[in-house]
Amino acid sequence: GIVDSWPAVVDDSAAANDWGWQPEYNQQRAFQEYLIPTIKARYANCND
Protein backbone atom coordinates (compact mmCIF):
# COMPACT_ATOMS: atom_id res chain seq x y z
CA GLY A 1 0.00 0.00 0.00
CA ILE A 2 0.87 3.65 -0.09
CA VAL A 3 2.01 3.69 3.54
CA ASP A 4 4.64 1.07 2.74
CA SER A 5 6.36 3.61 0.49
CA TRP A 6 6.70 6.20 3.27
CA PRO A 7 10.04 6.52 5.07
CA ALA A 8 10.28 4.90 8.50
CA VAL A 9 11.72 8.10 9.98
CA VAL A 10 11.04 11.70 9.02
CA ASP A 11 13.72 14.15 10.12
CA ASP A 12 12.29 17.64 10.50
CA SER A 13 15.33 19.04 12.31
CA ALA A 14 16.38 21.22 9.36
CA ALA A 15 12.95 22.90 9.28
CA ALA A 16 13.06 23.36 13.05
CA ASN A 17 16.55 24.88 12.92
CA ASP A 18 16.09 27.01 9.80
CA TRP A 19 12.55 28.25 10.28
CA GLY A 20 11.75 27.57 13.92
CA TRP A 21 9.06 25.15 12.74
CA GLN A 22 7.39 22.98 15.36
CA PRO A 23 4.72 20.37 14.68
CA GLU A 24 1.21 21.20 15.87
CA TYR A 25 0.41 17.58 16.71
CA ASN A 26 2.53 14.91 18.36
CA GLN A 27 1.64 11.24 18.01
CA GLN A 28 -0.48 11.10 21.17
CA ARG A 29 -2.46 14.24 20.32
CA ALA A 30 -2.99 13.12 16.72
CA PHE A 31 -4.49 9.84 17.87
CA GLN A 32 -6.60 11.35 20.67
CA GLU A 33 -7.95 14.37 18.81
CA TYR A 34 -8.11 13.22 15.21
CA LEU A 35 -7.58 9.57 14.35
CA ILE A 36 -9.58 7.81 17.07
CA PRO A 37 -12.61 10.15 16.90
CA THR A 38 -12.62 9.89 13.10
CA ILE A 39 -12.48 6.10 13.18
CA LYS A 40 -15.21 5.93 15.84
CA ALA A 41 -17.45 8.22 13.78
CA ARG A 42 -16.80 6.21 10.63
CA TYR A 43 -17.79 2.92 12.24
CA ALA A 44 -20.50 4.21 14.61
CA ASN A 45 -23.31 3.07 12.34
CA CYS A 46 -21.85 -0.25 11.19
CA ASN A 47 -24.32 -2.29 13.24
CA ASP A 48 -27.33 -0.72 11.52
Q: What is the pLDDT of residues 2-47, one digit of tens each?
A: 888 988 898 999 999 999 999 999 999 999 999 999 999 999 978 7
Provide the domain count of the chain.
1
Quote the domain boundaries for residue 17.
2-44
CB 23 within 8 A of CB 12: yes
| Cα–Cα distance list, 40 to 5, 32, 34 (Å) | 27, 11, 10
Q: What is the pLDDT of residue 10?
A: 87
Q: What's the pLDDT at 11?
A: 92
Whether 48 has a pLDDT exceeding 70, the answer reads no
Entry pTM: 0.51
